[in-house]
Structure 1
Amino acid sequence: MLIREDRAQTLSEGSVAAARALRNVLMHLPAAIAAEALLDEFPWVDVLPVEAKARFVKDFARAFQASAELGEWSVLAQTVQEWRSTATIYADPALAEQLSEPLGDDFGPVPEPVGEE
């Protein structure tokens, strides 16, 4: 895509301003209302426990702002993908319980790291 440099600067400044505004809105809303507002775009948020919904909103807002400031939207995409994976685990109660239990087994010695020399 080719655009004039001054236009690119304006787009960048606008996306950063929008990201900051969205972050501020999400941070000032009660977590439940902010999560509800994101449900249309991310319906899987509904399977997250209440405390996880609040963390998702906070992580989403921060990743949105970081992506806008860096001009690199993969930061936001990764955050959304990680939370979608978390929701997948919570959607299966048996799996969520299994992954929440402490590890009691000794899995043996850890091998030395292999590095390029």
Structure 2
Amino acid sequence: MTTTLPLSRLVQHPTEVATLVAEQDIVLDRRNAEDLYLSTVERHEQESQGLRITTSALAALARVRPDLAGDALSETLPWMVWLPVDEKTACLQELLDNLRAGAETSQLRPFFLNLAAWRSTAITWSDPDLAAMLLAGHDGDGMSEEDSLVAQPAT
């Protein structure tokens, strides 16, 4: 359970907030900035351990039964159905690698960046015309190679 309090409550009543955070996580609402999150180290470590265990279990499943792990991930990330089979396998591996590293280091930003990139890729694959254009390659923009070169700036 999480309780939301104004940041001023922490400033005005620090003992009360410290007592409350011992029992539950707190979101400190700030007016002109991103909210802050207060928790105990014990709860944070429990969540981190849960993430590591879950990630390791899914990675082990992916090694033995990549099809089953892919299906499990597709249940959570429905947009994965738009990916071709080989892309789905690459997506699964990259997401798991990033998630395992993030779970171990508490640095999940690379995982979320990778997740957003794969979601964009899946959305592209969902449009058959766009996917066909990308697979066909392109001839450039009609300019010759010589015309497309940019002159080196004068010093």
1:77-112 CA distances to partner (integer Å, 9 max, x unpaired)? 111111110111111011011112233234711465
C-alpha contact (below 8 Å) 2:58/2:69 kept by paired residues? no
Give the CA deviation at 1:15: 3.5
- For the pair 1:94 / 2:138, whether they are aligned, the reply is no
What's the counterpart of residue 56 of structure 2? 20
What's the counterpart of residue 3 of structure 1? 40
Higher relative contact order (CA 8 A, sep 6+): 1
Q: TM-score, normalised by structure 2?
A: 0.60
Against the structure 1 CA distance between its residues 80 and 97, is the aligned structure 2 distance closer, same or farther, given a 3 Å change threshold?
A: same
Q: Aligned match of 2:149 in 90, 109, 114?
A: 109
What's the counterpart of residue 69 of structure 2? 34
Give the counterpart letter for 1:91 in structure 2.
S
Contiguous gaps of at least 5 residues in structure 1: none
Against the structure 1 CA distance between its residues 28 and 94, is the aligned structure 2 distance closer, same or farther, given a 3 Å change threshold?
A: same
Percent identity between the aligned chains? 25
Q: TM-score, normalised by structure 1?
A: 0.76
What's the counterpart of residue 54 of structure 1? 89
What's the counterpart of residue 67 of structure 1? 102
Give the structure with higher Rg (CA): 2
Higher share in strand: 2
Give the counterpart letter for 1:102 in structure 2.
G
Contiguous gaps of at least 5 residues in structure 2: 1-37
C-alpha contact (below 8 Å) 2:95/2:115 kept by paired residues? yes
- Across the two proteins, how many residue pairs are aligned to each other? 110
